Structure 1
Amino acid sequence: MPELVVLTEQLLSPVPGGTGRYTRELAAALAAAAPVGWTVRGVTARHADLSPAAIPGVLGPRALALPRRALTLAWEYGMPLWPGGDMVHAPTPLAPPARGGLVVTVHDTVPFTHPETLTPRGAAWHRKVIRRATATAAAVIVPTQAVADDLARHAPGPAPVHVIGHGVTAAEPTPVDGLPPEYVLAIGTVEPRKGLDTLVAAMAGLSRAALVVVGPRGWGEVDLDALADRHGLPRARLHVLGRVTDGELATVLRQAAVLAAPSRAEGFGLPVLEAMAAGVPVVHSDAPALVEVAGGAGITARRDDPADLARALREVLERPDTAADLVARGRARAAGFTWAGAAEAVWRLHVSHWANKSGEGS
C-alpha cells in the first residue's frame, strides 16, 4: 500500500504562521482525497510533545530521530535521512535531499527579492534549500504565477514548477470581547515584511476607525505601540490581539469594516481570500502576488506609501457602494479557491511521479 509522507514540522514551530496553516489544511485535504490504496502520514523532527502536529485523517505524527535544529542542519548539508514513504510532500522548503520521490512547496521568493525583511541566516538558508529544490525535486509547487516567475529568475532548475493556489477554511466563530465598533483589520505575523509600519502611519491619517492587528510576534522587533506614538495614532485606536484561535479569527474577520494587507512581499496572501470569503472588503498593496490573488476584487495601494494606503482605506470606509461592490466581487473570487481543489492537484503530481518511479524500478 503506497504512503504519502507529509512533513508537518512547521506545526511545531514557535511561530507556525501562514505556512503552518497551509501545512495543516493541505495535509487534512490530502488525507480526505487520498486515492484508493494510499495512506497519508505526518512526520516531524523529535519533540517532547507532538500533539500540535496531529491532523484529523492523517496518520501519526511520527517523529524522526533528530530534534528540529539538528534535522534542519542535517538536511541542509545533504545527509540522506529519508522520512519514509513512497512519496514525500514538503509543505515548506524544509526537506530532505531528493531521491526521486520529493515534491516541495515554495511559498515565496522573499529570500531573493527582499532579504532585508528576514534574518541573514534565514534568508541564506532559504536561498540554499530553494535552489536545491528546483534543482533536484521531482516537482516544485508555488501558490501564484508571480512566485513561479521569480523562481525562474532567481532559482532556475530542471524541476517542473506547478502553480497550485491555497484554499479557504470556514471556521465556526467564537465570541471575542472588546472589539471596537468599526475597525480596519490586519492579519499576519508581526514582522517587517508585513508593512504594518505603513499601515499604522496610514491609520493616523484617518479620522475614523480603529486598527486591530491579529497575529503572533515574529522577528524584527516591530513595536506597534511605539509606531502608533511616532505617527500620532492614539493608543485607544490600536488593538493588538496577538495569536488567536481559528474561531476567534473568524469572529474578528467577519466584524471588520475592511481587511488591510500592506505587505512589502508575499507569495500568496491567504488573509486576502479569507476576508473575501467572509464578505469583508479588501485593500492590499501592489505586491505582485497580492494583486494576482485578489484578481481585481480589492483596492490596490502602493507599497510603503501611507498616504496612498489611507486613500484606499477611505474609499471603503466612506463609500458604502464601493464597499458593497468589493464584497460581491470578493465572494465570487474566493469561491474559486478550495483546499479540496488544491489537494486534488497535488495528488495528481504525487501519483504521477510514483507511477513513473514504480515503472522505472520494475
Structure 2
Amino acid sequence: MATILRMVVDQMITPAPNGISRYTEELTRALVSTAPRGCSVEGIVSALPQEKIARIEEALPGLSQLHRTTLPRRELAAAWQLGIVPTLGTGMIHSPSLLAPLRRHDREFDQTQMVVTIHDTLAWSDPKSLTPTSVAWHKAMAKRARKHADAIVVPTHAVAEQLSDIIDFGDRVRVISGAVASNLTLPDDADERAARMELPEEFMLTVGTLDPRRGLTPLITGLGQPDAPDLPLLVLGPETWGELALASVADEAGLAEGRVRALGYLSDADLAVVLARTSVFIYPSLREGFGLPLVEAFTFGAPVVHSDDPALVEVAGGAGLAVERGAKGYPERLAAAVASVLADSELADRMRIAGQDRARAFSWRDSAERVWALHADL
C-alpha cells in the first residue's frame, strides 16, 4: 500500500515571495525528490484560480496530486481555526506553517498524522511586528496545535526553548532548519546587473525594515558616530515602514544624503550579485526564528556581523561576529564590530571561509529527509 504525504502548499501563492512561501516551495520540492520507495507527495491548496494552480504544479514537478478545497484562503484559515476540516484532512498531513486542518484524530485507528511548523514566537514576543489579526490567528492556531498536532517543527533550538515558555508541547517539538533557495546562484550577467543597480565599488549590506525589532535604526545611528565606517549602506527592504523613512532616520543620525539606500525586494539573481559583492553583511535584528539571510550571506562569502539573538548565534555557529543587543550602547557596538571587519582584511578573509563552510551545514535535502524520518517515527 502506497504511503501518501499531503503537504499544505497554499502559502506558495502570495503577492510577493516571503520566507514561508519560499520555505514551502523548497521543502515540498525536496520532499518529492527524497520520497522513500512506495511514498508520494500530494498538495493541499485553498480555492485558488486555475492560473495559480498551474503555477504551483509547474513549480513542483513530481507532485502526484493537488487537492483544491472549496474555500478561499481567508475563509479556509478561519474554518480551520474553528476546527471545520474537510474530508481531505486525513492521512499523513504536513504543514509548513500553522495553516493546517488540525482536528481530533487517532493515529493508530485512522493512520492520521498532523505536523505543523512554527517559525518564530513573534506573536507573543513582538506582536507589534504583526497585524492584530495575525497575532490572534497565530495564537489560536497554536492552541489547536497543542491539542491536535502530533509534532511541531521549529527551525532552531532557540525557538524550541522560547516556545516551551509559552505553550507546553511536551516532547513533540522537532528542530528542522531551512536552507538557501535552490535558484539563488550568481548569474552570468553579474556585471550588467551590478551596473543597473548602481552598486558602489565598496558597500555595506543589511536587510529588513524600520520595524524596531529588526534593529535597523540602531545600525544607522551607529554609522553616524565619528569613528564609524563611511561606506554606503544598502538595505534589502523598503524605503519606509509606516510613517518612518530611511532617509529621515539617516538624516537624524547625521549621515549624508544618499549614504543609506533601499534596494527594495530583489530577484534571486540580483540578490546573489549584491551578496557576492558586499564588503560586509550586517544583520542587527533583535529577534528572529531562524535568520536565513545569514546563511545566504555565508553562501556567497560575505563576512557577517550579527546580533547575539539566540537563533542567529545558533545559525551562525561562530562563523559571524556576534554583537550584544540592548538599547544602551548597541549602535556603538554595531559600528565598532563592522569597523573591525572592514579594517582587518585577514579577519574578513577568515570570516568568508568560515561562513562558506557553515553554509554547507544547511540543505533542503537534509531537511526533507528529516521530515520523512519524523513521519516514520510517528
- Normalising by the residue count of structure 1, what TM-score does the alignment of the two structures yield? 0.90
Alignment partner, residue 77 of structure 1: 82
Report the alpha carbon displacement of residue 223 of structure 1 after superposing the two structures with TM.
2.5
Q: Distance in 2 between matches of 1:313 and 1:152?
A: 34
Report the alpha carbon displacement of residue 108 of structure 1 after superposing the two structures with TM.
0.8
Alignment partner, residue 61 of structure 2: 57
**Could you say what secondary structure the match of 1:193 adopts?**
helix
**Could you say what secondary structure the match of 2:140 adopts?**
helix
CA distance change for structure 1 residues 46 and 202 in 2, over 3 Å: closer, same or farther?
Answer: farther
Report the alpha carbon displacement of residue 229 of structure 1 after superposing the two structures with TM.
2.4
Alignment partner, residue 109 of structure 2: none
**Could you say what secondary structure the match of 1:93 adopts?**
coil
Report the alpha carbon displacement of residue 80 of structure 1 after superposing the two structures with TM.
1.6
**Could you say what secondary structure the match of 1:30 adopts?**
helix
Alignment partner, residue 165 of structure 1: 177
Report the alpha carbon displacement of residue 272 of structure 1 after superposing the two structures with TM.
0.5
CA distance change for structure 1 residues 14 and 222 in 2, over 3 Å: closer, same or farther?
Answer: farther
Pick the aligned partner of 1:295 from 317, 323, 334: 317
Report the alpha carbon displacement of residue 218 of structure 1 after superposing the two structures with TM.
9.3
CA contact (8 A) 2:35 2:372 kept: yes
1:124-139 equivalence runs, <5 A: 124-139=136-151
CA contact (8 A) 1:164 1:342 kept: yes
**Could you say what secondary structure the match of 2:69 adopts?**
strand
Q: Does 1:146 align with 2:158?
A: yes
Identity of aligned residues (%): 40
Pick the aligned partner of 2:349 from 324, 327, 345: 324
**Could you say what secondary structure the match of 1:309 adopts?**
helix
CA contact (8 A) 2:239 2:262 kept: no
- Normalising by the residue count of structure 2, what TM-score does the alignment of the two structures yield? 0.86
* Larger Rg, first or second structure (1 or 2): 2
Q: Distance in 2 between matches of 1:11 and 1:227?
A: 34
**Could you say what secondary structure the match of 1:186 adopts?**
strand
Alignment partner, residue 95 of structure 2: 90
Q: Distance in 2 between matches of 1:109 and 1:237?
A: 34
Gaps of 5+ in 1: 354-362
Runs of 4+ with deviation above 6 angstroms: none
Report the alpha carbon displacement of residue 220 of structure 1 after superposing the two structures with TM.
4.6
Q: Distance in 1 between matches of 2:62 and 2:135?
A: 31
Q: Does 1:337 align with 2:377?
A: no
CA distance change for structure 1 residues 189 and 84 in 2, over 3 Å: closer, same or farther?
Answer: farther
1:141-290 equivalence runs, <5 A: 141-158=153-170, 160-169=172-181, 171-174=184-187, 175=190, 176=193, 177=196, 178-188=198-208, 191-205=211-225, 206-215=228-237, 220=242, 222-290=244-312
**Could you say what secondary structure the match of 2:120 adopts?**
coil
CA contact (8 A) 1:136 1:159 kept: no
Q: Distance in 1 between matches of 2:69 and 2:209?
A: 28
CA RMSD of aligned residues (A): 2.2
CA contact (8 A) 1:72 1:94 kept: yes
Report the alpha carbon displacement of residue 255 of structure 1 after superposing the two structures with TM.
0.8
Give per-residue Cα distances to partners, 1:189-232, cap 9 Å, x unaligned.
66443222222223333342111122468975552223222222
Q: Distance in 1 between matches of 2:238 and 2:24?
A: 17
Q: Distance in 2 between matches of 1:145 and 1:227?
A: 34
**Could you say what secondary structure the match of 1:322 adopts?**
helix
CA distance change for structure 1 residues 159 and 312 in 2, over 3 Å: closer, same or farther?
Answer: same
Gaps of 5+ in 2: 106-111
